[in-house]
Amino acid sequence: MLQHILLVAVGGALGSVCRHLVGIGSLKLFGPSFPVGTLAVNLVGSFAMGVFIELLARRFDGSADLRLLVATGVIGGFTTYSSFALDTAVLWERGEVFTAFIYVSLTLVAGIGALFAGLTLARHFG
């Protein structure tokens, strides 16, 4: 259990630092008018998650430690959107298209709604 937590922590730290560096670089290159860094992180992270999960299943015998370090840690620390994309793909590939649609819809609508609820609450009491 502790080993798993350490693997996720080390990978997550690396992924978070990479996300931060992409954000800084994109602000310098493109300015603040469009969230290029976030878009890049989400697209690159989702692509990396797809490649890694497929390789993990086919070439690395599904090692739990490697999955925790790279998928949950590094890629998850880089972008949680990649996990959302993977969850959606798993539902879709299982043939649970309606469930995938509900998951995507709830994540987007409820997630944005939760953000606004948090903003409102903090503004009211802050």
Question: DSSP alpha helices (H): ranges in the chain?
Answer: 2-30, 36-58, 64-67, 76-78, 81-93, 97-125
d(CA 113, CA 106): 10
- Asked whether 16 and 74 are in contact (CB, 8 A), the reply is no
Q: Does residue 24 have a pLDDT over 90?
A: yes
Domain ranges (residues) in the chain: 2-79
> Residue 70 has what pLDDT?
95
Q: To the nearest 10°, the Cα dihedral for 22, 103, 47, 3?
A: 80
Write down the pLDDT at residue 9. Answer: 98
Residue 60: pLDDT over 90: no
For residues 14-27, average pLDDT: 96
67-87 per-position pLDDT tens digit: 999 999 999 999 989 889 999
CB 14 within 8 A of CB 6: no
Average pLDDT over the chain reads: 93
Q: 88-97: per-residue pLDDT in tens? A: 999 999 999 9
What are the angstrom distances between the C-alpha of 52 and each of 4, 13, 111?
18, 18, 27
Q: What is the mean pLDDT of residues 9-36?
A: 96
- The arithmetic mean of pLDDT across residues 33-56, rounded, is 92
pLDDT-based confidence at residue 45 (cuts at 50, 70, 90)? very high
Distance CA 19, CA 21 (A): 5
What is the pTM for the complete model shown? 0.80
Amino acid making up residue 51:
V
- Residue 95's pLDDT is 97
Tokens of 92: 């879709």
